[in-house]
Amino acid sequence: MTLPSLQEVSIRAAVKNLRFGRNFIYRRSVKSTNDLAKTNALKGNPIPLVVTADEQTRGKGRMTRNWYSPRNKCILLTIVFPESPDDFKFGHYNFLVSLVIASAVESAAGLTVSFKWPNDILIGGKKICGTLSELITIEDGKRLIVTGMGLNVNIERNEFPEDIRDKATSLSIETGSIVDREKLFTDVIRTLNTLYSIWENRGIEPLFQQWMQKCSTVGKNVVIRTEKHYIDGLAEGINQDGSLILKDDAGKLHTIYAGDLEYVIND
């Protein structure tokens, strides 16, 4: 099915007066919105910066995986946030953007969203969105967080690569109808501005509590692949910095800051 591109003029007009939105880059096709955002930030583009595209040809997920993002069927979005404090936590940005996507999706489609640690957004146990945050340092020494997100909007089930077809879903699959990407994009940006303001004014606690209410990971048996090894056990909780507390079979507690998590289903 052929679907239309985003209309740059209309989406730019909808977000031009917002803190996140006035500095805005749109492309029909890019290798990666994260890469384009980092390049522009390093060149001195005003921050915060919003970058979106209708297609990515080399989008990236966790563990250097490719991110499937066909033309005109996703929300592909990268945010370059204002300067990060010295004690920044990647997990805080994950809380923020996950809640942004969840709010926009639940409003647009009436669907219930859950979160799987560290940064997967699910509907009915299937992944509908992932996020990826990176840290860059620009010329004046400022450290900036660059967070990309890819939301599956109007992808048909048979369009997904076979290896993820049973694990991924889209809004159109879940609702049975085509979703207006322009309206959804605008809702995402407006919600981002609202929730970021809450974070600035009230700290991370209210966002952390909202995120935990949607977290499906705590209490489940899991296996986690980190850069160095595999570890399995019971997900005991999530710390406010975004790290996961895991209890292994010997009863020892581990604090995991990043990794690839799968739920273990016992027969």
CA angle 259, 62, 94 (to 5 degrees): 75
- Asked whether 37 and 71 are in contact (CB, 8 A), the reply is no
Same domain, yes or no: 19 and 78: yes
Do residues 51 and 144 share a domain? Answer: yes
140 and 233 both lie in a single domain = no
Please write down the HEC assignment for all residues of 189-249.
HHHHHHHHHHHHHHCCHHHHHHHHHHECCCCCEEEEECCCCEEEEEEEEECCCCCEEEECC
SS3 144: strand
Mean of pLDDT over the chain: 92
Three-point CA angle 119, 124, 127, nearest 5°: 35
What per-residue confidence (pLDDT) applies to 228?
A: 83
Provide the number of structural domains found in the chain: 2
Q: Which amino acid is at 112?
A: T
Q: Is 185 inside any structural domain?
A: yes
Please indicate, yes or no, if residue 239 is contained in any of the structural domains: yes
Q: By the 8 A CB rule, do 154 and 166 touch?
A: no
CA dihedral 144, 119, 59, 155 (to 10 degrees): -140
Residue 139 included in any domain: yes
pLDDT of residue 195: 98
Tell me the per-residue pLDDT of 16-71, one tens digit each, with 9 for 90 and over.
999 999 999 999 999 999 999 999 999 999 999 999 999 999 766 554 556 678 89
- Please report whether residue 2 resides in a domain: no
Which CATH number goes with the domain that contains 250?
Answer: 2.30.30.100
User: Does 56 lie in the same domain as 172?
Assistant: yes
Q: What is d(CA 263, CA 167) in angstroms, rounded to the nearest whole number?
A: 12
CB-CB neighbours of 235 under 10 Å: 22
Containing domain of residue 237, as a range?
221-263
4-17: burial string, b at 16+ Cβ within 10 Å, e else: eebeeeebeebbee
Whether residue 204 is found in the same domain as residue 236:
no
With a pLDDT cut of 90, the percent of the chain lying above it is 84
d(CA 152, CA 261): 20
Exposure on the CB side of residue 245, measured as CA atoms within 13 A: 11
Within a domain: 3: no
Is 202 found in the same domain as 238?
no
What is the structure's pLDDT at 50? 98
The pLDDT value recorded for residue 145 is 96
| Structure confidence at residue 123 (pLDDT) | 97
Same domain (yes/no): 124, 28? yes
Would you state the pLDDT for residue 200? Answer: 94
- pLDDT (tens digit, 9 = 90+) per residue, 130-171? 999 999 998 888 899 999 999 999 999 999 999 899 999 999
> What percent of the chain has a predicted confidence (pLDDT) above 70?
95
Same domain, yes or no, for 191 and 67?
yes
Q: What's 81's domain CATH number?
A: 3.30.930.10
pLDDT at site 89:
92
204 and 90 inside one domain: yes
Q: Considering the domain boundaries, does residue 175 fall inside one?
A: yes
How high is the pLDDT of residue 267? 47
**Is residue 31 assigned to a domain?**
yes
Q: Check whether residue 129 and residue 192 sit in a common domain.
A: yes
What is the model's pTM? 0.93
Domain boundary among 194, 214, 234: 214
Contacts of 50 (CB under 8 A, 6+ apart): 15, 20, 21, 23, 24, 25, 77, 78, 79, 189
Q: What is the mean pLDDT of residues 116-127?
A: 95
